[in-house]
């Protein structure tokens, strides 16, 4: 069997061909067809693909035996829809965060001749989701559930992004406005719903799980998992190497309410607090470096390692609340199994990129 990532990528070739055939069928000019192809290739497939592959993995776990080729492809379409949503968010987020690189290459808006066209390109990555859902799932009873969960998680992500952005004004730095509670709200909304709940909920619909309590249970595990994931993202923004994470951190300079600054504020001496107040959120490399010195002094690396352990234990504990044989999912055959969540946790535990 080809490796998992390659199998998932192979499905993208078919999906991209479908999107481009539709473009051609609409008589889109040749240069627009080429532009769209470049947009798709540049922004959809270059990441870790954890979210997308979690859909096919979860569908297989829920089935309890290998998916047929046709089942695999259909689950992969849902997985690629999550990756397209992610691409739509990242292209936009990089403009809002004024980031420089993403996945080891310049952010799309910084590519010559792209600029603000990236805004429309982001919209088109989102539009592709609904084209694909219609093409492949229109006839399913759960089609409306797919539309609903994409719309709802998109809206939640935008709500989280709003709070992320207005908590980080460019001109006024006021660290007293930050708190771990505020951080928690931001990360649940901007990351956890679409990155963790969405892929599993899609696999559950695909597997004909209908019981609302199964979806609620999934959420009680996946939201804490998503919170943990975004705290990793915050940590790597400062302590990860750009070569490994494929992006250059901007959180300190962008005045972000990240996990690191919140924990640093809890432990800073009056002198360290003064340094943070004077240097956080400044568009200045030396100021950023002074903030990083305080982050080291208060022991954020160790505090993060302890957080990571406790977070793993917490999520494992939540997973154990699922009955050993799985939770019956409703009229359909499928039961919600522990392995769905373990497999997702294993993908991110102690990640360095
Ligand atoms: C991650 O924030 C959150 C997103 C990518 C969601 C963006 C939502 C929109 C509605 C556009 P981040 O800025 O920490 O991510 P990264 O570190 O990858 O830039
Ligand atoms: Mg952001
Ligand atoms: Mg960002
Ligand atoms: Mg980040």
CB atoms within 10 A of CB 63: 17
Q: Are residues 107 and 166 in the same domain?
A: no
**What pLDDT does residue 333 have?**
56
From 139, 164, 197, the end of a domain falls on: 139
- Judged by its nearest atom, the ligand closest to the C-alpha of residue 51 is 1
- How does DSSP classify residue 174? -
Tell me, in angstroms, the distance from the centre of ligand 4 to residue 99's CA: 10
Q: Are residues 48 and 154 in the same domain?
A: no
Tell me, in angstroms, the distance from the centre of ligand 2 to residue 138's CA: 33
Contact (Cβ atoms closer than 8 angstroms) between residue 84 and residue 121:
no
126 lines ligand 1 (CB under 6 A): no
Q: Are residues 174 and 297 in the same domain?
A: yes
Convert 83-103 to b/e letters by CB count within 10 Å (16 or more is b): bbbbbbbbbbbbbebebeebb
Identify the sign of the CA torsion 247, 251, 257, 260.
Answer: positive
Domain encompassing residue 183: 142-353
CB atoms within 10 A of CB 140: 15
**What pLDDT does residue 1 have?**
53
This prediction has a pTM of: 0.95
**What pLDDT does residue 331 have?**
59
Q: Whose CA is nearest to atom 12 of ligand 1?
A: 93
Number of domains in the chain: 2
**Cα-to-chain-centroid distance, residue 76:** 17
Q: Are residues 203 and 340 in the same domain?
A: yes
From 139, 171, 188, the end of a domain falls on: 139
Token output for 294: 């305080």
How far apart are alpha carbons 291 and 238 in whole angstroms?
Answer: 10
Q: Are residues 74 and 149 in the same domain?
A: no
157 lines ligand 1 (CB under 6 A): yes
Q: Are residues 55 and 153 in the same domain?
A: no
How far apart are alpha carbons 215 and 202 in whole angstroms?
Answer: 10
ipTM of the complex: 0.98
Q: Are residues 89 and 185 in the same domain?
A: no
Contact (Cβ atoms closer than 8 angstroms) between residue 204 and residue 336:
yes
From 123, 139, 155, the end of a domain falls on: 139
Q: Are residues 156 and 284 in the same domain?
A: yes
Token output for 145: 């559930």
Nearest atom (ligand 1) to Cα of 233: 17
Q: Are residues 188 and 273 in the same domain?
A: yes
For the chain, how far is it from start to end, CA to CA, in angstroms?
Answer: 26
Supply the CATH number for residue 120's domain.
Answer: 1.10.600.10
Q: Are residues 328 and 278 in the same domain?
A: yes
How far apart are alpha carbons 179 and 187 in whole angstroms?
Answer: 12
Tell me, in angstroms, the distance from the centre of ligand 1 to residue 127's CA: 19
Q: Are residues 91 and 151 in the same domain?
A: no
Q: Are residues 196 and 311 in the same domain?
A: yes
Per-residue pLDDT of the chain (353 residues; tens, 9 = 90+): 569 999 999 999 999 999 999 999 999 999 999 999 999 999 999 999 999 999 999 999 999 999 999 999 999 999 999 999 999 999 999 999 999 999 999 999 999 999 999 999 999 999 999 999 999 999 999 999 999 999 999 999 999 999 999 999 998 999 999 999 999 999 999 999 999 999 999 999 999 999 999 999 999 999 999 999 999 999 999 999 999 999 999 999 999 999 999 999 999 999 999 999 999 999 999 999 999 999 999 999 999 999 999 999 999 999 999 988 888 766 555 689 999 999 889 989 998 99
207 lines ligand 1 (CB under 6 A): no
Identify the sign of the CA torsion 207, 213, 214, 219.
Answer: positive
Q: 235 in helix, strand or coil?
A: helix
């Amino acid at each position: 069997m080809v490796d998992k990532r390659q199998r998932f990528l192979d499905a993208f070739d078919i999906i991209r061909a479908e999107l481009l055939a539709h473009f051609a069928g609409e008589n889109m000019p040749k240069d627009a067809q080429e532009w769209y192809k470049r947009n798709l290739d540049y922004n959809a497939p270059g990441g870790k693909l954890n979210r997308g592959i979690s859909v096919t993995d979860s569908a297989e776990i829920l089935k309890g035996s290998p998916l047929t080729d046709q089942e695999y492809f259909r689950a992969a379409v849902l997985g690629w829809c999550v990756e397209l949503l992610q691409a739509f968010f990242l292209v936009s987020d990089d403009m809002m965060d004024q980031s420089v690189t993403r996945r080891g290459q310049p952010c799309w808006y910084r590519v010559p001749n792209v600029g603000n066209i990236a805004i429309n390109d982001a919209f088109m990555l989102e539009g592709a989701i609904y084209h694909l859902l219609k093409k492949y799932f229109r006839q399913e009873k759960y089609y409306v559930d797919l539309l609903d969960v994409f719309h709802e998680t998109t809206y939640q992500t935008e709500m989280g992004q709003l709070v992320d952005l207005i908590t980080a004004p460019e001109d006024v730095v006021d660290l007293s406005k930050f708190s771990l509670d505020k951080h928690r709200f931001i990360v649940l909304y901007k990351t956890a719903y679409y990155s963790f709940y969405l892929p599993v909920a899609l696999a559950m619909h695909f597997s004909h799980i209908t019981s609302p309590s199964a979806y609620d249970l999934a959420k009680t595990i996946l939201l804490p998992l998503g919170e943990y994931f975004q705290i990793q993202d915050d940590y790597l923004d400062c302590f990860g190497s750009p070569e490994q994470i494929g992006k250059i951190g901007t959180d300190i300079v962008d005045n972000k309410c990240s996990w690191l600054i919140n924990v640093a504020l809890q432990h800073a001496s009056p002198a360290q607090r003064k340094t943070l107040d004077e240097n956080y959120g400044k568009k200045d490399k030396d100021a950023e470096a002074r903030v990083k010195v305080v982050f080291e002094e208060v022991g954020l690396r160790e505090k993060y390692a302890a957080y990571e352990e406790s977070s793993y234990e917490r999520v494992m504990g939540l997973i154990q609340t699922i009955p050993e044989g799985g939770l019956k999912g409703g009229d359909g055959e499928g039961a919600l199994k522990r392995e769905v969540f373990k497999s997702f946790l294993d993908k991110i535990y102690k990640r360095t990129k």
